[in-house]
Amino acid sequence: MGDELALVGLECWGHHGVFEHERREGQRFVIDLVLGLDIAPAAGADDLSATADYGAVALAVKSAVERDPVDLIETLAERIATVCLTQDRVDWVRVTVHKPDAPIEATFTDVALTITRKAGSS
């Protein structure tokens, strides 16, 4: 069992989706992350360089969401996982992509996809 660092509710604006209006107008995406890592070295040394910098992770993920539109949230989630796994000390990541304004002709609260990826896996 390892340690987990969570970043919840990162709001981003992206132009992802299969419909032309989604690409043109864009919409809100909300990202939740759980990073799996060993925090013991950072806690013992009280040193930011010995852990994942969640501020840097947040900015990298925001940038990943706000660039290059894709059709599917599945593709977007994989992109975000790849970004997170490039961070030093991150062993695994759980990414949830929320698309609360998805174009669905029904009343709903959210559409969300969650994936888990490990460092060194393809």
Number of domains in the chain: 1
How would residue 2 be classed by pLDDT, with cut points 50, 70 and 90?
Answer: confident
Active-site residue among 62, 79, 98, 99? Answer: 99
Q: Is residue 9 part of a domain?
A: yes
Supply the range of the domain harboring residue 68. 3-102
The three-class DSSP label of residue 115 is strand
Q: Is residue 120 part of a domain?
A: no
Q: Is residue 116 part of a domain?
A: no
pLDDT in tens, 24-48: 999 999 999 999 999 999 999 999 9
Is 99 catalytic? The answer is: yes
CATH number, domain with residue 83: 3.30.1130.10
Residue 121, pLDDT above cutoff 80: no
Q: Is residue 115 part of a domain?
A: no
Helix (H) or strand (E) holding 7, with range, is: strand 3-14
Q: Is residue 110 part of a domain?
A: no
The whole-number pLDDT of residue 122 equals 56
